[in-house]
């Protein structure tokens, strides 16, 4: 299959980018606070955790599991099994090295192409992975099929106001007040950004698309959180002071009726 260049990264039509298996990106990502500290280093985690049902006795699927921090936490919270799926060998290698639990299984795979049994999970979770996926409808169809009746789908993505601009750079007025460019908001398509490494491809889609794609696949919306650090967090991280101007993360809870 013919490959093309986008930014500095090779893309194959129909295949996801797998930037986490590129050495420069992976080394940079591994140095982030959330990579070093796990869930404790992810400031949005308490809000996402609050959207989860009690996991005791439940079978959990984690889409884009990364280093496996959530998979291990889910087992401590009582889940009977966790399947973590990720595209990146680098991420899965560390996940496997840090997990000593036969009830946690990691599988290499593309979220968009997964083949899993119907009604085989009680909870599907995904943290900051689905904005890499081009076909959200395929993901929602998968989730609807693999969830048992009453099962929960809880996920986070980069917030659409964060992903909207083609040139995601803060602007400042004469008084130094920050503003975030929101042009191209309704243009739902790939964005190529320089984040950790040049040429990282993410998929921008509107809030309505996240919500309506879930509804179109027979899911019920249970919660929507536009997460930004509060005053307490900003007091500890003064460099986050502008974040509430454009919430970085969107957290969504849904349920299979
Ligand atoms: C920002 S990391 C988040 C990792 C983990 N969920 C967390 O919150 O720490 C995004 C992860 O999604 C994975 N990913 C991206 N696109 C994917 C795809 N199409 N299929 C499977 N995994 C994918 C990446 O390899 C990476 O591990």
Q: List pLDDT tens digits, range 120-159.
A: 999 999 999 999 999 999 999 999 999 999 999 999 999 9
Measuring CA to CA, how many Å separate 109 from each of 47, 86, 221, 239?
27, 6, 27, 36
Q: What is the pLDDT of residue 14?
A: 64
Give the closest residue (by CA) to ligand 1 atom 25.
88
Q: Which of 141, 96, 151 is nearest to 116 (CA)?
A: 141
Q: How many CB atoms lie within 10 A of CB 230?
A: 12
Asked whether 158 lines ligand 1 (CB < 6 A), one says no
Asked whether 91 lines ligand 1 (CB < 6 A), one says yes
Q: What is the C-alpha to C-alpha distance for residues 73 and 55, in angstroms, rounded to an integer? A: 10
Q: What is the pLDDT of residue 7?
A: 33
State mean pLDDT over 11-27: 84
Asked whether 64 and 142 are in contact (CB, 8 A), the reply is: no
Atom of ligand 1 nearest to the CA of 35: 9
Q: What is the pLDDT of residue 13?
A: 55
Asked whether 92 and 86 are in contact (CB, 8 A), the reply is: yes
Q: Give the distance (Å) from ligand 1 centre to CA of residue 170.
A: 26
Q: Give the distance (Å) from ligand 1 centre to CA of residue 155.
A: 12
Q: What is the C-alpha to C-alpha distance for residues 125 and 254, in angstroms, rounded to an integer? A: 10
Percentage with pLDDT > 90 across the chain: 93
Question: DSSP 3-state assignment of 134?
Answer: coil
Q: Give the distance (Å) from ligand 1 centre to CA of residue 131.
A: 9
- Convert the pLDDT of each residue in 39-89 to its tens digit: 999 999 999 999 999 999 999 999 999 999 999 999 999 999 999 999 999
Length of the chain as a residue count: 257
Locate tokens 């050495």: which residue?
Answer: 23
Mutation pick for ligand 1 pocket among 86, 95, 99, 109 (CB with most ligand atoms within 8 Å): 86
Which helix (H) or strand (E) segment is 231 a member of?
helix 231-236
Asked whether 248 lines ligand 1 (CB < 6 A), one says no
């Amino acid at each position: 299959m013919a490959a093309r260049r986008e930014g500095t990264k090779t893309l194959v039509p129909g295949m996801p980018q797998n930037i986490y298996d590129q050495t420069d990106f992976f080394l940079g990502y591994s140095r982030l606070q959330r990579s070093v500290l796990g869930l404790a280093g992810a400031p949005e985690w308490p809000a996402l955790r609050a959207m989860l049902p009690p996991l005791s006795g439940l079978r959990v699927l984690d889409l884009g599991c990364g280093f496996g921090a959530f998979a291990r936490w889910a087992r401590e919270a009582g889940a009977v099994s966790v399947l973590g799926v990720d595209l990146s060998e680098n991420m899965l290698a560390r996940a496997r090295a840090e997990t000593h639990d036969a009830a946690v299984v990691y599988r290499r795979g593309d979220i968009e192409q997964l083949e899993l049994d119907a009604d085989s999970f009680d909870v599907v979770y995904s943290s900051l992975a689905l904005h890499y996926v081009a076909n959200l409808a395929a993901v929602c169809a998968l989730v609807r099929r693999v969830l048992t009746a009453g099962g929960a789908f809880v996920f986070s993505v980069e917030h659409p106001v964060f992903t909207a601009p083609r040139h995601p750079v803060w602007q400042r007025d004469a008084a130094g007040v920050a503003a975030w460019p929101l042009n191209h908001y309704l243009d739902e398509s790939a964005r190529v950004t320089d984040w950790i490494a040049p040429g990282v491809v993410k998929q921008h889609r509107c809030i309505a698309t996240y919500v309506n794609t879930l509804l179109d696949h027979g899911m019920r919306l249970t919660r929507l959180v536009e997460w930004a650090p509060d005053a307490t967090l900003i007091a500890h991280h003064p460099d986050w002071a502008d974040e509430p101007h454009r919430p970085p993360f969107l957290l969504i809870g849904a349920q299979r009726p």
